[in-house]
Structure 1
Amino acid sequence: MRILCVAEKHAIAKSVAQILSDNHFQTRETGDQYTRNLEFTYRFPNNTMAQIVMTSVRGHLCTTDFPEQYRKWSSCAPVQLFELNIEKKPSADLAALEQNLAHEARNANQVMIWTDCDREGENIGAEVAQVCRRSNQRIVVTRARFSSVTPAEIHRAMQNPVQIDQRQVDAVDARMELDLRVGASFTRFQTLSFQDWFPDLKDGVVSYGPCQFPTLGFVVDHYRRVENFIPESFWKLEVKHNKDGVDANFIWQRGHLFDQLACLVIYEACMETPGPTIRINRVKSKPTSKYKPLPLTTVELQKSGSRLLSMSSDRIMTVAEGLYTQGWISYPRTETDQFDQNYDLMGLVQKQTHNGQWGRFAQRLVEGGFRNPRRGKENDQAHPPIHPVMHTENLAGDEKKVYEYITRRFLACCSEDAKGDQTDIEAVIHTETFKATGLIIKERNYLDVYPYDKWSGTVLPNFEEGEEFIPTEFMMKHGATIRPTTITESQLIALMHKNGIGTDATIADHIKTIINREYVVRHKQGNEFQFTPSTLGIALVEGYDNIGLDMSLSKPFLRSQASFRNLALICLGTKTKQQVVEDGIEMYRNVFEIVNRDKRTLRQVSSLAVGIHHIFLE
C-alpha cells in the first residue's frame, strides 16, 4: 500500500515524518524550492506495511477571483461585483506544488490530509484532495486529526483517519466569496471616490474589509472618547485610623460626589460636637479564595500575552505556531477552555518536574497537590486548550517567554485556588457608612507558579462590634476623573472576540491589516501596545457613521449578522453555503446602495483626509 500524506507546511511534514519513521526517511527534491518529499516505510499495529510519501503545500492552492475581464477597475460599476460570477482556480505561482501532488497521487492508493485541524485547514485539505482525484480517480481520501505534534498524537492520527468535514469546507468557501465580493466592491468605491476628491490619493488604494473596518471602528470609537473627555471634579470623605501600630483605611460607601457643597454639608455634619466619632457596626470574617485561571484559549493567549509579555498579538501567534511545529505545545488555535475528563493531565505535569524554575511545583502536584482544572463555557469540539506537550529548557527570547507563560498557566490550572481569610468591617460616622477590608493569605497554591496574577494581604487592627473612637484622620478630599488611555491591544482583542469580528485564528491578522493600511498607528506605552487612528482612519469611520445607516460599516453588527454567526450554522448543517452567501450579499448590497446615493456626506467628513499620502495595500 502506498499512502501520500500532505501537510499544510513543510515544517509540520518534516516533524510528522520524523515521528512516523523514527527519524529514518529519504528526502527527494520537488519542483518547489520550499517543499521536499520525504519517503519511509510505516508499520501499522496489524503488521500491515505501507510506503509513505510525506509532502506539503504552502496554504491554499487555489484563489477565488472575478473573471479576467472584470479585474480592471474600469471594467464595471463596483455594485456589479455583488452579482458577477466568481472563479476558483489554481494559483499560478503554486503550479509546482500542484504538479508534485498530481505526480505522487498517480501511484498512491490513498491520500491522507495532514493540514491544520481548523476550518481553513479543512478547506486546504479539500483543495489537495481535488488535485489528487484529478490525477487518480480511484485514490481514497482520508483525514488525519491531531492537536499536537507528539509521537502519541501523530501515531493515533495515522492509525485512526477520518473523513474531511465538507461543512467546514463550505463555511470557508462562503466566507471567502463574501469577503471577495464585499471587499472588492467597497474598496473600488472608496478608492475611486477618494481619488476624485483628493488628488493626493491618485496612486493609492483605500481598502475595505468586512472584518478590518469594524476593527478600525473600535479604535476610532475609543479615540473619540479619549479626545472628548472633560475632567470632572469630585469630592470624597476619607477615614484613617491607627490602632496598636496598624493602619486601617475606611472607604466611604458613597464613593464620591460631584457636588462640592453637598459633600461639605455631609462632612460638617460628621464633624459636629463631640467630633467625628466612628462606631464599628459589624466585624465579619470569612474564608475567601482567588480562583486559578481557566485553561488557555487562543484569544486569551493573545490578550494576556500582549498585556503580560509585552508582545504584539501577531508576534505571539507566530511564536506559538513555531512552538507547536517543533512539538513543544499543543495546537495554538482553539476556542476550548475545558479539558476532556479523560485527558492525561498528570502525564503532562510529570514532564515538567525536571524544570529548573517550576519543576518543584510540578512535583508538588504529582505528590498530591493536583486538582482538576476549572471548566469554562467554550468547547470547539476540535482541540483541547493550549498546553505544553513536552518539556524543554533550550529556548530563548520570545519563544522562551511564550512557552513559559503557557506552561505556568497549565500548571496553575492543575493546582488549587489561592486561599485566605477576609475580614470586612463596617463603621458609621453620623449617618455615613464606611468599610475596611483586610486579607490574610493562608495558602498561595497556584500563585506560587503563576506570577502573572497578584493577590496581596492587608492586615487590619483588631476591632470589636460596638467599639467607638475618634479616627486618627477624617478628611474631605478633592479629586478629578482621569482621562482614559487610547485603546490597548488586549482591549481591542476582547472587543473583537465579544462582537464576533474574525475568529480566534484571524484576530491578530485583522489588527495587522489595519496597521499595514495605515488606518491606525500601534505604539508602545509602558509594557503594552496601544492604538491611535490615523487621519484617514478617522475620516473613513466618521464618513460612514454620518450617513446614518441602520448598521454602519464601522460597527460590528453587520459583519457579525451577515457572516460570522451564519458560518457556524453551515458547520452545524442548519444553513447551506448558498443561503449564507445570498443573505450576506443582500445585506451588504443594500448598505452599498445607500452609501452610493449619499456620497456627499462621506465626502464632507472625509475632507479630513486631505494631505494623506502613500496609502497602499499590503
Structure 2
Amino acid sequence: MKLIIAEKPDQGAKLAAPFQHTKQKDHIRIESCPLFPEGAVVVWAVGHLCELVPPETYSSEWKKWHLDTLPMIPKSFQFRISKGKNQAYQTIKHFIHDQSVTEIVHAGDAEREGEAIIRLILDQAGNRKPLSRLWISSLTKNAVIKGFEQLKDGDKTKDLYEEALSRTFADWLVGMNASRAYTLQLKAHGINDVYSIGRVQTPTLALIVKREAEILEFVSKPFWEVHAEFQHANGRYWAVWQKENDPRILNGVMAERIQSFCEGKPARIETVTEESKKVHAPAFYNLSALQAMMNKRRKFSPKHTLDIAQKLYVKGYLSYPRTDSRYITTQEEELLPGILGTLSQQDPFKQILPAPFQTIQNRARFVDSTKVKDHYAIMPTEQIPDMKKLSEDERLIYQTVAESIIAAFYPPLEMSYTEINTIVDERAHFTSKGKSVISKGWRKVIPFPEKDKEQALLPVCSKGDPVNGKEFFVEESKTKPPKRYTEGELITLMKTAGKHIDDKELIHVLNQTQGLGTEATRANIISVLQNRQYITIIKNTVQPTAKGMLLIKALGSSILVSPEMTAKWEKQLDLIGSGQYDAAVFMTAIYKMITDIVSESHHHAETWSFTEQEQAALPVRQSKWDKKKRRKAPVGKCPICDEQVIDKGTFYGCSTYQTSGCSFTLSKTILTKKLSLSTVQKMLKDGESPLIEGFKSKGKTFSASLRWNQTENRFAFTFSQATNMTR
C-alpha cells in the first residue's frame, strides 16, 4: 500500500478527490483502484513541521548573547518538530512505520521548499521505505491522475533537498551570528534593541534606505517652461519650447524673454513625423508580476495576492502560483482552446470570447519549454469556477490571470505616434507630441489604464504650413525627489536587484535566479521587515524607520547589505540543486564567511558615531536579556541641571539622578493624555508645549499647554482664554 504525504490538509483532500475514498479525522483512505491496487492512505503536514533547533541545544554557552561565543558554528545541524505540530507529525510517523505501507509518495509542492518540507519529516521519522515523487503544477482531477500515473523516482529530486538544506543552514548561520554580533555591538553604544539580520531581508532594507537617503538629500530646484497654443487651418494644438530636446529653462528671466520674443511673431510647421507601432500582448504572469499588477491596480499587498492565488490553486481553478516562469510549454498550450471555450460561457468573458485567433499570436513570446524549470506561468485550469460564487478578491485575481491568457489570442495593439515641430520667427522651436489608437487589439481584453488614455489628436498638417501663435505663457515648476516604493514596486525591486551591483557576471546570476528572495518568500520578507520595525507601510508606500536606517548605517559597506552575497550564493545553490556542485564545499565557504562577518562587526563598531536625534527616534524597547536597563538615548536637556533627560519606561527623568540626585521627572501620561515624544522634546527645548487637547479631569475634557514653572521646578498647566471644558 502507498502512503501519500501532502503539505496541507486541503491539498491532501484534492489528491484523494479523483478516487473512491473515506475521510478520517487525520487521514484519508483511498479504496483499491487501477492506480492503487492495494489502496492508499493520504496524510498531510501543516506546512513546515520541522525547524532547526535553537543555539543552546548545541552548547549551553550559546544560550546567552556574548561576543566571545561568536561565531556559532554547529558541528552538525539538528531539527526538531515545531511547537504545536507534534500531533500531525505523529500521525505521519505512525503510517510511515505501518507494516502495510510498502512505498512512500512525496506529494509536497513541486519545488525546492516543498521538497524539503516532506523529506525533513521522513528523515526525522527514520523512513527506510522506497520513495517516489508526485510532480504536478495543478490540482485538477486530470492533473492529479496523470501525476500519479507518472510518478518520479525519489532520487531524481534529491539534489533539490540538498540545495534546500544548504540554503537553510547558511541562512541560520548568517542570521544567528550577524544578528547577535551587531545587536551586541550596538548595545555597547547604548542602543538596547535586537537587530535581526538576514541574507535577503537586509539587502532589501538597504535598497529601501538608499531610496530614502536620495529623498532626504534631494534639493529641489526651480525651472520654467514656455508653453504655446498654435492655430492651424485644420485646428489648434499645444506645444512646449525646447532646446536640444530639453524643455526646462533654469532662469525665469530667460523664460520670460523667450515668451516675449515669440508673441506676435510669424510661425510655421518645421517638421511632421508620424510613426506606427505594434505592441504585442504582455507576457503571462509569474507570482511577482501578478503581485506587482494587483498592487498597482487594486492596492493588494503582495501577501494578500499570494494568499488569494493559493486559495484558487487549492480549489483547482489556477495553476501553481509560486512560479517564477512567464512561459508555458506545448502541453499547456494544447489545453488553452478548451479552457477559453468554457470561459466564454459566462461573464465577464462573454464580451471578449471567442477570441479573434484560435492559436496564440507571437507564440515565442509565450510558449517556450526551455524557460520553464519547475512550474509554468500562472494560468486557469480546465476546472472553471462559477464566477458568481467566488469572493470579490478571488474574482479579481482570477479575472486578471484569465485575461492575460485571452489577450495572447488577440492581435497586437497598433498605435500611431505623431510629433509636430513648430518654429517661431525661425529661431524658437516648439514641440508637440500626440498618440492615437489605430487598432485596439488585445487592449479590448485589458483596457488602457486611465493615465495612458489616448491623447488629443493633433491636426493634420504638413511641413511649411503657416500657423498662428495665439498664446505664449510661462509655467514655473520645481524638480521633485524620487518617490518612495509601493509594495508592488518593492517586489519588482527585489526581483531586479542585480542592477544595484557592478559585477556583470553576478548581475547575470541574479537575473537568472530572479533576484533577492524567491517567488514564494518575497511577500513574507516584506512582512518580516514590518514586524521587526525596519519599515512602515502607509497607504501602500514603503518607508524605512529610524531603526532600519540606523542598522544600515551601522553595517556600512558590509557584504550583508549588498545583493552581491545573494548572487554568489544563488549561483552555487542552483548548481547544488542540479547536482553540479558539492554542498560540503559550499558550506565550508560559508563557515569562513561567517567568521569574517563577526570580525568585521568589531571594526565597524569602532567607527560608529550616532547622533542624539538618530537615537532619540528609535522605538522604546526593554531588552529581554537586560530587563533592568532601558535605552539611554537622550530626549533633551534637563530644565533643572541642564544634563540629559532619558526615557525611563513610564516616564522621562534626568540621567544624573543616581549620581547627583536631580529630581526632574515627567510622566508620559498626564490626566489620561499620552504625550508624544515630539511634544516632550519641544517642552524640553522651548520650556512650553503646544496646545494639547484631550486632558480629562473630574468628568471634564479640556485643552491646555504645559509650561515650565521655575519656582516649582515642574511643568504646569497654562490656559488660554479660548480653552473649552466639556463633559
- TM-score band by shorter chain is 0.7 to 0.9
Q: Distance in 1 between matches of 2:462 and 2:406?
A: 41
Q: Please, which of 69, 74, 80 is the counterpart of residue 90 of structure 1? A: 80
Instruction: Report the CA distance between 1:455 and its aligned residue.
Output: 4.2
- Provide the rounded CA distance (Å) in 1 between the counterparts of 2:553 and 2:484: 18
Aligned to 2:143, the other structure's residue is in SS state helix
Q: SS of 1:49's equivalent?
A: coil
Residue 595 of structure 1 corresponds to: 601
Q: Is the counterpart of residue 397 in structure 1 residue 396 in structure 2?
A: no
* Counterparts of 1:212 and 1:466, CA distance in 2: 60
Asked which structure has the greater RCO (Cα within 8 Å, sep 6+), the reply is 1
- Indicate the larger mover: 514-523 or 235-244: 235-244
Q: Distance in 1 between matches of 2:567 and 2:50?
A: 26
CA contact (8 A) 1:82 1:182 kept: no
Which residue in the other structure is 1:559 paired with?
Answer: 566
Indicate the SS of the match to 1:332.
coil
Matching residue's letter, 2:443:
L
Give a deviation string over 1:80-136, Cα, whole Å, max 9, x none. 33533242233164433333223223321211111111110111232244356x35x
In 2, the alpha carbon distance for the partners of 1:13 and 1:322 equals 14
Change (3 A) 1:90 1:83: closer
**Paired residue for 1:234, among 209, 223, 227?**
223
Kindly state the Cα deviation for residue 267 of structure 1 after the two structures are TM-superposed. 5.3
CA contact (8 A) 1:294 1:373 kept: no
Find out whether 1:180 has 2:172 as its counterpart.
yes
The alignment status of 1:62 with 2:26, answered yes or no, reads: no
**Structure 1 position 414, deviation (Å):** 3.1
Inter-partner Cα distance in structure 1 for 2:363 and 2:90: 48
Residue 606 to residue 539, structure 1, CA distance change in 2 (3 Å): farther
CA drift at 1:25: 1.6
Q: Is the Cα contact below 8 Å between 2:360 and 2:408 reproduced in 1?
A: no
Contact 2:361 2:410 in 1 (8 A): yes
Cα offset, 1:198, TM superposition: 3.4
Contact 1:337–1:375 (Cα < 8 Å) also in 2: no
Against the structure 1 CA distance between its residues 245 and 280, is the aligned structure 2 distance closer, same or farther, given a 3 Å change threshold?
Answer: closer
CA distance 1:574–1:237, change in 2 (3 Å): farther
One-letter amino acid matched to 2:530: I
> 1:262 deviation in Å?
5.3
Which amino acid is the alignment partner of residue 489 of structure 1?
E
Cα distance in 2, alignment partners of residues 75 and 537 from structure 1: 21
* 1:278 corresponding residue in structure 2: 267
Q: Is the 8 A contact 2:205 2:534 kept in 1?
A: yes
Q: 1:362 aligns with which of 353, 357, 366?
A: 353
- Report the Cα offset of residue 497 of structure 1: 0.8
CA distance in 1, matches of 2:58, 2:72: 16
SS at match of 2:489: helix
Give the alignment partner of residue 442 of structure 2, picking from 439, 446, 457. 446
Q: Could you tell me whether the CA contact under 8 Å between 2:81 and 2:89 is conserved in 1?
A: no
Q: CA deviation at 1:266?
A: 5.4
1:345 and 2:345 aligned:
no
The answer to whether the Cα contact below 8 Å between 1:542 and 1:605 also exists between their aligned partners in 2 is no
What TM-score do you get using the length of structure 1 for normalisation? 0.87
CA RMSD, aligned part only? 2.8
Shift of residue 314 of structure 1? 1.1
Secondary structure in 2 aligned to 1:234? Answer: strand
Distance in structure 1 (CA, Å) of the matches to 2:115 and 2:523: 20
Q: Distance in 1 between matches of 2:551 and 2:228?
A: 50
Which range moved further: 328-337 or 95-104? 95-104
Aligned equivalents of 1:564 and 1:605: distance in 2? 37
- Post-superposition Cα deviations, 1:427-486, rounded to whole Å, max 9, x if no partner, equal 333344433333332322222221364442531111112212232223343221123332
Letter paired with 1:594: E
Determine which structure has more spread, i.e. the larger CA radius of gyration: 2
CA separation of 1:336 and 1:615: change in aligned 2, threshold 3 A: farther
Q: Which moved more, 1:246-255 or 1:372-381?
A: 372-381
Deviation for aligned residue 1:38: 0.5
| Corresponding position of 2:16 | 17
- Aligned counterpart in structure 2 of residue 425 of structure 1, from 420, 428, 436: 420
Q: For residues 303-326 of structure 1, what are the alpha-carbon distances to aligned partners after superposition, in whole Å with 9 as ceiling and x for unaligned?
A: 111111211111111111111111
Counterparts of 1:458 and 1:584 in 2: how far apart (Å)? Answer: 60
1:353 to partner: Cα distance: 0.6
In structure 2, the residue matched to 1:119 is 112
In 2, Cα distance between equivalents of 1:5 and 1:521: 42
Q: SS at the partner of 1:422?
A: strand
Who is 1:509 aligned against?
A: 524
Write out aligned runs for 1:529-540 (5 A). Answer: 529-540=540-551
User: What's the TM-score once normalised by structure 2's chain length?
Assistant: 0.75
Calculate percent identity across the aligned residue pairs. 19
For residue 141 of structure 1, what is the aligned residue in structure 2?
A: 131
CA distance in 2, matches of 1:149, 1:395: 18
Q: Alpha-carbon deviation of 1:580?
A: 2.2
Equivalent position of 1:324 in the other structure: 313
- AA aligned to 1:498 is T
Partners of 1:78 and 1:209 lie apart in 2 by 21
Match in the other structure for 2:375: 383
Which residue does 2:458 correspond to in 1? Answer: 460
Alpha-carbon distance, 1:78 to partner: 6.3
Judge which range, 594-603 or 608-617, deviates more: 608-617
Shift of residue 417, structure 1, vs aligned partner: 2.0
Retained in 1: the 8 A contact 2:70–2:181? no
How many residues end up aligned between the 2 structures?
Answer: 586
Residue 236 of structure 1, CA deviation: 2.2
Amino acid at match of 2:434: G
Structure 2 counterpart of 1:141, one-letter code? L
Please give the per-residue CA displacement for 1:305-364, whole angstroms capped at 9, x wherever unaligned: 111121111111111111111111110011111222342221221221122112231223
2:92 to 83, 91, 101: 101
- 2:447 counterpart of 1:436: no
Matching residue of 1:335? 324
> Shift of the alpha carbon at 1:70?
4.4
Aligned match of 1:80 in 58, 70, 91? Answer: 70
Q: What is the DSSP-based 3-state SS (H/G/I as helix, E as strand, rest coil) of the residue aligned with 1:436?
A: strand
Superposition deviation, residue 426 in structure 1: 3.0
Please state how far the C-alpha of 1:492 moved relative to its aligned partner. Answer: 1.5
For 1:605 and 1:570, locate their aligned partners in 2 and report how far apart those are by CA, in whole Å: 45
> 1:23-42, aligned counterparts within 5 Å?
24-29=20-25, 36-41=26-31
Match of 1:371 in 2: 361
Uncovered stretches (5+) of structure 1, i.e. residues with no partner: 30-35
**Matched residue type, 1:583:** A
- 1:433 to 1:261, Cα distance in 2 relative to 1, 3 A: same
